[in-house]
């Protein structure tokens, strides 16, 4: 069933994960099924102070996302215009407003406190409260959004991250030969993925990896994707630029020598949608680890790493918390682990029984194809935006 919705996204189009999974994939699928899609980096006003943007004026639903920074999403033709002012003007025009929330901005860990100022969080809260619907990446995040903003749970709609399954599977087949060439007989390549801020998750993993390394020696190789070794050298500059707290920087400085002692290989960064999946699929990793902590912020995230690892044919061991427990049945689509012993046992099973890794990958791929494939799952976005229009009229 197609749709004739007209949707305009107001947000940056930088090639980060949020833009890919929450904008590019769903909007492309909606457009392929009849929707009219527009993208604007801000809402443009004319010299008379009226919204003057054809894509906005023609839209049924206007979609905002991520954290809202004051005047960031508006043009500068009206002095001191804020995003909540823009939304008020959009409401006057009869536009339904959707806000997509992919992270918990209300209970931030120490390393993020200097990046997201309280004034910005207040603006984000106001935007969420003014929206006709709020879409979230996990049920846990939905509960946290309701707790911190006080909005009705009926306005919160859970839509999981989804991927274009058949497109990515065909892309993988193009890289099978390159992937096989990177395989080394008798060596299991184990990878971690994340930027500098994710290194906080790895502190608890160091004793686990040390035990695995002691057990298997040169039969395992640890690698990390998302940072370069040179990134470690600019920690002090990031503190000075107020992009990182001193406490978090000190923890990183303690962690890095431990990773060096484990002979970690740094695979660099993959920027852009095409480069990301090409790079992931060429890595040749056997096992991927997803090591979130058990705090509110991490439990509010999505199971994105499960999607990424699985579509790159990398078997995974994941922290046994939401969001991973929302999608993974332990030992079926991957291993779930919490304690030190569970992590060591799960990684050891992955190393000792390659055939078990393949069975898990097959299960994961089947789950993704049927439950998290945007080629069919786009209807969840259609229904959500139709709900926004209904809420606006009622």
On whether residue 23 sits in a domain, the answer given is yes
d(CA 10, CA 131): 13
User: Is 140 found in the same domain as 67?
Assistant: yes
User: Is 300 found in the same domain as 156?
Assistant: no
Q: What is the model's pTM? A: 0.90
User: Is 154 found in the same domain as 100?
Assistant: yes
Edge-to-edge strand list for the sheet holding 156-158: 36-40, 6-10, 61-65, 96-101, 133-136, 156-158
Of 22, 10, 14, residue with least CA distance to 51: 10
d(CA 270, CA 276): 5
On whether residue 183 sits in a domain, the answer given is yes
Count of structural domains, the chain? 2
On whether residue 1 sits in a domain, the answer given is no
User: Is 225 found in the same domain as 140?
Assistant: no
CB atoms near residue 272 (< 10 Å): 13
User: Is 385 found in the same domain as 357?
Assistant: no
pLDDT-derived band at 182 (thresholds 50, 70, 90) equals low
User: Is 77 found in the same domain as 187?
Assistant: no
pLDDT higher at 14 or 359: 359
pLDDT digits (tens, 9 = 90+) for 123-164: 788 889 999 999 999 999 999 999 999 999 999 999 999 999
pLDDT of residue 73: 44
Taking residues 383-390, report their average pLDDT.
97
On whether residue 383 sits in a domain, the answer given is yes
User: Is 191 found in the same domain as 252?
Assistant: yes
User: Is 321 found in the same domain as 177?
Assistant: yes
pLDDT-derived band at 109 (thresholds 50, 70, 90) equals low
The CATH code of the domain that includes 89 is: 3.40.50.2000
Whether the predicted pLDDT of 253 surpasses 90: no
Q: Which domain holds residue 54?
A: 6-162+374-393
- Token pair listed for 24: 């590019």
Whether the ω angle into residue 323 lies within 30 degrees of 0, i.e. cis, is yes
Whether the predicted pLDDT of 72 surpasses 80: no
Strands 335-337 and 188-193: unpaired
User: Is 379 found in the same domain as 366?
Assistant: no
User: Is 201 found in the same domain as 89?
Assistant: no
User: Is 72 found in the same domain as 83?
Assistant: yes
User: Is 298 found in the same domain as 155?
Assistant: no
Of 248, 231, 256, residue with least CA distance to 113: 248
The answer to whether residues 289 and 316 touch, using CB atoms and an 8 Å cutoff, is: yes
């Amino acid at each position: 069933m197609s749709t004739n919705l007209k949707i305009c996204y107001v947000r940056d189009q930088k090639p980060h994960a949020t833009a890919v999974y929450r904008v590019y994939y769903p909007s492309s699928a909606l457009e392929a099924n009849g929707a009219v899609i527009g993208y604007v980096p801000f809402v443009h006003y004319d010299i008379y102070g009226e919204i003057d943007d054809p894509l906005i004026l023609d839209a049924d639903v206007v979609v905002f996302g991520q954290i809202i920074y004051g005047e960031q999403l508006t043009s500068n033709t009206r002095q001191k215009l804020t995003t909540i002012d823009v939304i008020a003007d959009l409401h006057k025009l009869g536009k339904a407003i959707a806000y997509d929330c992919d992270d918990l901005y209300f209970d931030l860990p120490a390393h993020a406190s200097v990046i997201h100022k309280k004034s910005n969080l207040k603006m984000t809260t106001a935007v969420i409260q003014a929206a006709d619907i709020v879409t979230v990446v996990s049920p846990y995040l939905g509960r946290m959004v309701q707790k911190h903003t006080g909005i009705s749970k009926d306005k919160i709609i859970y839509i999981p991250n989804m991927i274009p399954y058949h497109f990515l599977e065909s892309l993988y087949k193009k890289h099978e030969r390159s992937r096989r060439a990177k395989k080394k007989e008798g060596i299991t390549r184990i990878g971690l993925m994340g930027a500098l801020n994710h290194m906080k998750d790895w502190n608890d993993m160091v004793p686990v990896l040390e035990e695995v390394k002691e057990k298997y020696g040169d039969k395992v190789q640890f690698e990390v994707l998302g940072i370069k070794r040179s990134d470690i050298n600019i920690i002090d500059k990031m503190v000075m630029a107020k992009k990182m707290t001193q406490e978090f920087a000190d923890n990183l400085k303690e962690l890095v020598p431990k990773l060096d002692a484990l002979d970690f290989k740094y695979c660099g960064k993959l920027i852009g949608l095409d480069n990301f999946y090409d790079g992931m699929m060429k890595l040749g990793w056997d096992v991927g680890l997803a090591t979130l902590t058990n705090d509110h912020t991490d439990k509010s995230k999505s199971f994105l790493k499960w999607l990424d690892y699985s579509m790159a044919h990398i078997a995974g061991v994941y922290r046994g918390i939401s969001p991973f427990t929302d999608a993974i049945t332990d030992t079926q689509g991957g291993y779930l682990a919490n304690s030190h012993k569970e992590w060591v046992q799960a990684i050891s099973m992955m190393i000792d029984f390659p055939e078990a890794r393949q069975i898990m990958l097959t299960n994961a791929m089947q789950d993704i194809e049927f439950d998290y494939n945007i080629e069919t799952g786009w209807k969840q976005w259609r229904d959500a935006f139709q709900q926004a229009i209904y809420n606006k009229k009622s």
